[in-house]
Structure 1
């Protein structure tokens, strides 16, 4: 490693520790994050967070290995699952902290803790959705099911896989809390605690609302509003708004700034999830890692589906309802979503939410956010909402 201080990001190119323990040691030192005149670049932040995750998950694996010779069966898939991903929530947490003037390197541990919370949510979500793939690889419960079969275990392989994956998700939840508490930041502050608690509470509420809307009868005219409620709690707040707020609160941000930040991050989060839902139907499986029309097969009553049912004639709507939640005629269902104009209306809704976010982003300049930082956030918002994965 050339130059720089272990555990410190420097300007455009991050100096990432190469020896285990450097970053962990740095976060308790009095050093400051470097390059604080502007927001750090995504690649620098991601490298920093990945280093924390690698170290902390490795330490946890070593601890469990000392307790049981089969512990690696649990820790190896967790470590593999936590590799990769967009780190959207880590970036939001880090940037929220910087925007509010934070300089302590411990934010890397907080950002990593947020990613572990997300890992737990994804592992459990794949079980709920009965999804056997994630990022083009076997989902965690599918991995454990395959292991059960390969090892010749007794009993039902799928049940074993689900049970083991639930435990793996719970492990990630526990580790998330540990990293948060060990960050060296004032995590006991009442505003920080309230935001952190709401962060976890709302995603659990959103998850329940999601399974309920799929199971309970919902009139066609109510699907759009109900689906917006689901995506707001399950994703928009948890993926974008609340990580930004958590970072800002950790830096001591006042409520006025937090409200101004939320005016940008909430509609951005909604646009982000609307794009995700569209990709769940129209996305390229090679890019998304999911089969085309996967959300239709799972029977998801999304905003896109609600818009379509409102536009279809009675016969098409009845035909569509009968096949939603099955693998029958998925290709034709996708065609109908486009032909009835729902896809275009859905795109317009994404654009509307994004424009709301940009109006609020411009207003952040009145709160001391620099033009350089506004431009970085604008560029990132475009990447979040105009993507194919």
Structure 2
């Protein structure tokens, strides 16, 4: 049940000492903010609130791992930000705005990729299209679903700015200086631009049939590493007024660990368990995504002159009718070429290098331990 807008924001009851507690508090901040926004939207247009707003609220509050707010929180702590008190509460509320950016990105990404599932449930565009068909409404159900999904994503982006703005007012008041708003402007602006640029590069690589490993890595760095880890860390550190050396070390860690996260996701897209990932295995291939795993396999097949392997891989990319048997054949080829092992080894190297970067500067010990723990999750093969 979402809190009414007149209810107080989540109370500060001590420092978020572990990731689970941070995640719970982020959910509370999101529920508090979205309850107020939903009530305002209902006063403007009840059908809009009952459809677009309701979907966004449920999707944002009830789902997600809160990865970006987690990294922002530990960036704040790494830079010397308070572990508890009004400033800490405001900083975590500001970090919660990143989760609305994620809602925008996921909903729009599903439209662009034509993905039917998200978090184990119908994606926004698919759910709205199904509602259209069930009601036998006029017009094209697919276009209706996609149009409403675009609105959901747009609304998430707008409300992310609203939440951040409110949180920064509280943080500046707690710190007694109007500086957090100025400091956080750069990472907030850069993160959103990089997110869109990464999505463009992903789409362009698919359209152009890009096969270079360097291109796949560039997409991974911009679409995931910068947006999911590097900039959230930068965001949290900027809130706390981090010095340039600590910002540089945290961003370097973020690029390495964020890239490792994306490469792990690419591996799960071919080898994962849908019950754990919440999306069908093989969808990256069906959608024509040019991952490092695929690029490594294609390069190795070319170097070996293995025409059969090349044909198996190239024919699978963008094949919407790819079957379980087809996917199994792709796995056999990638394994035989050593592509999977090569990407696994790269993930391990990135994680080790990222953790080493944390030793380059003095940061809060609790934050160092938390960031090392989050980094090693990137190497877990079934996550």
Q: Which runs of 5+ in 2 are unaligned?
A: 173-178
The alpha-carbon deviation at position 18 of structure 1 amounts to 8.3
Distance 1:201 1:19 in 2: 33
Displacement of 1:361:
2.0
SS in 2 for 1:108: helix
The 3-state SS of whatever aligns with 2:46 is coil
Q: CA deviation at 1:110?
A: 1.1
Counterpart residue number, 1:377: 371
Q: Deviations over 1:45-75 (max 9, x none)?
A: 1111101111211211111222223121111
> Which of 199, 207, 210 in structure 1 is aligned with 2:191?
199
| 1:97 aligned partner | 76
What is the deviation of 1:387? 4.9
* Corresponding residue of 1:62: 39
* 1:156 Cα offset (Å): 0.8
Which residue does the alignment assign to 1:8? none
Q: Which residue of 1 aligns with 2:246?
A: 257
> What does 1:77-156 correspond to in 2, within 5 Å?
77-82=55-60, 83-103=62-82, 104=87, 105-156=89-140
TM-score of the pair, normalised by structure 1: 0.87
1:307-346 Cα offsets, whole Å, 9 max, x none, are: 1011221332133212311033222112211221111111
Answer with 333-342 or 129-138: which moved more: 333-342
Matched residues in 1 for 2:44 and 2:123: separation? 26
SS of corresponding position for 1:197: helix
Q: Counterparts of 1:360 and 1:56 in 2: how far apart (Å)?
A: 36
**Whole-angstrom distance in 1 between the partners of 2:29 and 2:10:** 11
- 2:175 corresponds to which residue? none
* Deviation of 1:114 (Å): 0.5
CA distance in structure 2 between the aligned counterparts of 1:387 and 1:332, rounded to whole angstroms: 21
Query: Of residues 339, 344, 348 in structure 2, which corresponds to 1:342?
Result: 339
> How far does residue 24 in structure 1 lie from its aligned partner after superposition?
2.7
Matched, 1:166 2:150: yes
Structure 1 distance, partners of 2:77, 2:133, is 48
Contact 1:293 1:334 in 2 (8 A): no
Equivalence for 2:9: 24
Instruction: Give the corresponding residue for 1:317.
Output: 310
Are the aligned partners of 2:104 and 2:154 in contact in 1 as well (CA < 8 Å)? yes
User: Which has the larger share of helix?
Assistant: 2
1:213 to 198, 205, 212: 205
How far the C-alpha of 1:42 sits from its partner, in A, is: 0.8
Unaligned runs of 5+ in 1: 1-16, 27-31
Map of 1:11 onto structure 2: none
Distance change >3 Å, CA 163–CA 20, structure 1 → 2: closer
Distance 1:90 1:384 in 2: 17
Larger mean CA deviation between 334-343 and 125-134 belongs to 334-343
Taking the TM superposition and a 5 Å limit, the aligned residue runs for 1:283-322 are 283-312=272-301, 313-322=306-315
Distance in 2, matches of 1:309 and 1:139, equals 31
Bigger Cα displacement from structure 2, 52-61 vs 88-97: 52-61
Would you say how many aligned residue pairs link Structure 1 and Structure 2? 359
Q: How far apart, CA to CA, are the structure 1 residues paired with 2:249 and 2:13?
A: 25
The two structures have a TM-score, normalised by structure 2, of 0.89
Partner of 2:139, secondary structure, is coil
Distance 1:309 1:250 in 2: 44
Higher relative contact order (CA closer than 8 Å, sequence separation 6+): 2
Distance in 1 of aligned mates of 2:6 and 2:331: 50
On the 8 A contact 1:23/1:52 being kept in 2, the answer is no
